[in-house]
């Protein structure tokens, strides 16, 4: 019984620490300026600035060029600025960001 109690307590502490880490990461702020840059390169740059992986299909971003800037902004503002006019939208799934074309099937 004592072992089960210790295991349960350990799992609760681990969960609390993990949850706190994700909550703190969501407040990350950064600044950038992209001029006539491929969307792929811009997304790669955002992944270096923010602690979130960005998942996308190559066919959705292929050939798209963007210009965007943001000063001291959170990831939601950064993505809004970057994806404006691209026909893409984003959603958070767990601790990753998923890009998809507007109007495509919802993620399950």
Instruction: Give the CATH number for residue 57.
Output: 3.55.50.30
CA–chain centroid gap for 37, Å, is 19
Cβ neighbour number for residue 80 with a 10 Å cutoff = 15
Residue 6 lies in a domain: no
Residue 95, pLDDT > 80, answer: yes
Which helix or strand (DSSP H or E) is residue 30 part of? Answer: strand 29-38
What secondary structure does DSSP assign to 31-100, as a single string? EEEEEEEEHHHHHHHHHHHSS--EE--HHHHTT-EEEEEEEEEEHHHHHHHHHTTTTEEEEEETTEEEEE
Residue 11 lies in a domain: no
Instruction: Please tell me the total count of domains within the chain.
Output: 1
Residue 21 lies in a domain: no
Residue 36 lies in a domain: yes
- The pLDDT tens digits of the residues spanning 26-77 come to 578 999 999 999 999 999 999 999 999 999 999 999 999 999 999 999 999 9
| pLDDT score for 26 | 57
Residue 4 lies in a domain: no
Three-state DSSP state, 101: strand
Average pLDDT taken over every residue of the chain: 80
pTM of this prediction exceeds 0.75: no
Residue 65 lies in a domain: yes
Residue 10, pLDDT > 60, answer: no
| pLDDT score for 79 | 95
């Amino acid at each position: 019984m004592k072992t089960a109690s210790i295991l349960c307590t350990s799992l609760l502490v681990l969960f609390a620490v993990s949850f706190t880490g994700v909550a703190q990461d969501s407040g990350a702020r950064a600044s950038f300026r992209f001029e006539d840059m491929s969307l792929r390169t811009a997304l790669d740059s955002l992944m270096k600035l923010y602690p979130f992986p960005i998942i996308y299909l190559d066919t959705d971003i292929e050939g798209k060029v963007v210009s965007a800037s943001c000063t001291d902004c959170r990831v939601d503002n950064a993505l809004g600025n970057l994806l404006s006019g691209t026909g893409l939208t984003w959603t958070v799934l767990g601790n990753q960001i998923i890009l998809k074309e507007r109007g495509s099937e919802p993620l399950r």
